[in-house]
């Protein structure tokens, strides 16, 4: 008996539906909390070729929701590790790995060879980038999003009225409208639910079975286990913001920084530096700059050196920057966020002259 026998005996699906899945090519952008359940269910269902895009590495803080990974995987690249785990479970499938973040230079080329695109990312810039690329290439886009206890599911660029993300949100939010990523938590089950719903919509698109969730947004509230839908319509002003051509797309800047999230207080910064893997606390002041501040948990890399070689910090998921007052570190945090949009990059509030800093307190004399 085939491992797909429980699917092929379904009315309307049958062997024909299974063959459609086996011929399909699906790209999953982001192998995180949403991407992991999407990948697992698409592979289990027998989608023939699955592309995985993610330039990030696995950290211990990911493990409550990124269920393809375990402690033995920390520090490894997400995209290639997800492919290895799934290939071991389902050796008959093909996996194409892109261990990079999508950007205007590579997005169109990567997306163009796939039938359906799944957005499992957690930042606004990438959502707009993926949306605009899918509109240019006429690719169906299955998008999921979560915030605290609520999740959303949206299907774009599909059906007789091909809506897109800009019909709902014409313009990206400003920096001070984006929630503080360091303070916004998530229960791992929520992205599991939304990611599974994303996978179900992909299977419906590919097989032609059922009614695809188009022209509406599906909301799920974890606290009261409720679902509700909101209809959406074309937005003329939003569509005016779409790139008109490939050249226009490549000239755009999709880096949207979280203004509040760029700042972190000393208590949280020290807790992360001391207790969280893949974290680094960096004093970016110039060599010899007073007052001296030397601790075991503190790295000293001048701002100019980081600007010259930002890749020196690429191995870390959480990058915490401090200077004398917080001004230089805030500027550098913004610059590094453009270089590494998926990483958590913060400026420590008030710098080392802040009364709460370890220089002025005996609380952290490690």
Full DSSP string of 35-99: HHHHHHHHHHHT-SEEEEE---B--GGGTTT-TT--GGGTTSBHHHHHHHHHHHH-TTSEEEEE-
Q: Within a domain: residue 129?
A: yes
Q: Is the pLDDT of residue 39 over 70?
A: yes
**Cis? peptide before 191, omega within 30° of 0:** no
Does residue 365 form part of some domain? no
pLDDT above 90 coverage of the chain, percent: 63
Give the chain's radius of gyration (CA, Å).
Answer: 22
What are the pLDDT digits (tens) for 58-98?
888 888 999 999 999 988 899 999 999 999 999 999 999 99
Residue 180 has pLDDT above 60, yes or no: no
pLDDT score for 183: 52
pLDDT (mean) for 154-175: 88
Which of 222, 250, 278 finishes a domain?
Answer: 250
Q: Is residue 366 part of a domain?
A: no
SS3 288: coil
The last residue of one of the domains, among 250, 275, 296, is: 250
11 lies in the same domain as 54 = yes
Euclidean distance between CA atoms 185 and 202, whole angstroms? 27
- Residues 335, 215 share a domain: no
Position 295 confidence tier, pLDDT thresholds 50, 70, 90: confident
- pLDDT value, residue 320: 95
Q: Considering the domain boundaries, does residue 52 fall inside one?
A: yes
Residue 310 reports pLDDT greater than 70:
yes
What pLDDT, on a 0 to 100 scale, did the predictor assign at position 179? 58
pLDDT value at position 339?
Answer: 81
Name which of 120-129, 244-253, 336-345 the model is least confident about: 336-345
Classify residue 258: in a domain, yes or no. Answer: no
pLDDT band at 172 (very low <50, low <70, confident <90, very high): confident
**CB-count exposure of residue 228 (10 Å: 0-12, 13-18, 19+):** exposed
Quickly list H helices, the chain: 5-8, 14-23, 35-45, 78-89, 107-111, 124-137, 165-168, 189-207, 236-239, 246-250, 266-275, 303-308, 327-339
Note whether 235 and 268 are same-domain residues. no
Residue 255 in domain: no
pTM: 0.74
60-to-66, 139, 154 alpha-carbon distances in Å: 10, 34, 29
Range of the domain at 178: 5-250
In a domain, 10, yes or no: yes
Res 330: pLDDT: 86
> Tokens 């909101």 correspond to what residue?
230
Indicate if 241 and 275 belong to the same structural domain.
no
- Inter-residue contact 119 to 142 (CB < 8 Å): yes
Q: How many CB atoms lie within 10 A of CB 91?
A: 7
- Kindly tell me the burial class for residue 338, based on how many C-beta atoms sit within 10 Å of its own C-beta (0-12, 13-18, 19 or more): middle
In a domain, 310, yes or no: yes
Q: Are strands 150-156 and 141-147 parallel, antiparallel or unpaired?
A: antiparallel
- pLDDT reading at 261 higher than 50: no
CATH value at residue 165: 3.40.50.720
Q: What is the pLDDT of residue 257?
A: 54
Looking at the fold, whether 233 and 279 belong to one and the same domain comes out as no
pLDDT category, 278, cuts 50, 70, 90? confident
Q: How confident is the model at residue 296 (pLDDT cuts 50, 70, 90)?
A: confident
Q: Would you place residue 309 in the very low, low, confident or very high pLDDT band (cuts 50, 70, 90)?
A: very high
Rounded Cα distance, 46 and 252, in Å: 37
Kindly report the CATH number assigned to the domain that includes residue 269: 3.40.250.10
28 and 148 together in one domain: yes
Q: What is the pLDDT of residue 365?
A: 44
DSSP H or E segment with residue 283? strand 279-283
233 and 117 in a common domain: yes
Whether residues 280 and 303 fall in one domain? yes
Q: Pick from 200, 218, 250: which residue ends a domain?
A: 250
Indicate whether 100 and 209 sit together in one domain.
yes
Work out the average pLDDT over 208-216: 94
Q: Report the number of distinct structural domains present in the chain.
A: 2
For residue 260, what pLDDT is reported?
Answer: 45
Q: Count CB-CB contacts under 10 A for residue 44.
A: 16
107 exposure class (CB count in 10 Å sphere: 0-12, 13-18, 19+): buried
Q: How far apart are CA 128 and CA 341, in angstroms?
A: 13
**Opening angle at CA 277, ends 344 and 69, nearest 5:** 90
- Structure confidence at residue 16 (pLDDT): 95
Q: Are residues 187 and 281 in the same domain?
A: no
- Mean pLDDT score across all residues of the chain: 89
Same domain, 148 and 222: yes
176 and 32 within one domain: yes
């Amino acid at each position: 008996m085939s491992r797909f026998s429980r699917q092929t005996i379904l009315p309307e699906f049958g062997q024909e539906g299974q063959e459609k899945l086996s011929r399909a090519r699906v790209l999953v952008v982001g192998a995180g909390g949403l991407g992991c359940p999407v990948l697992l269910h698409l592979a289990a269902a027998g989608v023939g070729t699955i592309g995985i895009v993610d330039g990030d590495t696995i950290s211990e803080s990911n493990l409550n929701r990124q269920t393809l990974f375990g402690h033995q995987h920390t520090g490894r690249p997400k995209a290639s590790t997800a492919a290895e785990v799934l290939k071991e479970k389902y050796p008959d499938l093909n996996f194409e790995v892109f261990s990079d973040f999508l950007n205007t230079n590579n997005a169109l080329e990567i997306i163009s060879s796939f039938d359906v695109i799944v957005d499992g990312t957690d930042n606004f810039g990438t959502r707009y980038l993926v949306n605009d690329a899918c509109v240019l290439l006429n690719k169906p886009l299955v998008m999921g999003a979560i915030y605290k206890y609520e999740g959303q599911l949206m299907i774009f660029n599909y059906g007789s009225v091909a809506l897109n993300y800009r019909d709902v949100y014409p313009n990206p939010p400003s920096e001070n409208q984006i929630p503080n990523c360091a303070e916004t938590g998530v229960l791992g089950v929520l992205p599991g639910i939304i990611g599974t719903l994303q996978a179900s919509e992909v299977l419906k698109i590919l097989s032609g079975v059922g009614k695809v969730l188009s022209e509406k947004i599906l909301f799920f509230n974890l606290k009261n286990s409720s679902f509700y839908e909101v209809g959406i319509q074309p937005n003329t002003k939003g569509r005016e913001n779409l790139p008109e051509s490939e050249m226009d797309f490549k000239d755009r800047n999709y880096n949207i920084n979280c203004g509040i999230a760029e700042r972190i207080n000393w208590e949280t910064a020290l807790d992360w530096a001391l207790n969280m893997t893949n974290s680094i606390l960096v004093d970016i002041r110039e060599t010899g700059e007073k007052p001296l501040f030397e601790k075991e948990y503190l790295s000293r890399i001048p701002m100019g050196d980081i600007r010259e070689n930002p890749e020196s910090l690429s191995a870390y998921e959480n990058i915490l920057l401090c200077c004398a007052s917080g001004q230089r570190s805030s500027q550098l945090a913004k610059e590094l966020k453009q270089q590494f949009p998926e990483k958590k990059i913060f400026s420590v509030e008030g710098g080392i002259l802040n009364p709460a800093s370890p220089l002025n307190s005996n609380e952290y004399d490690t």
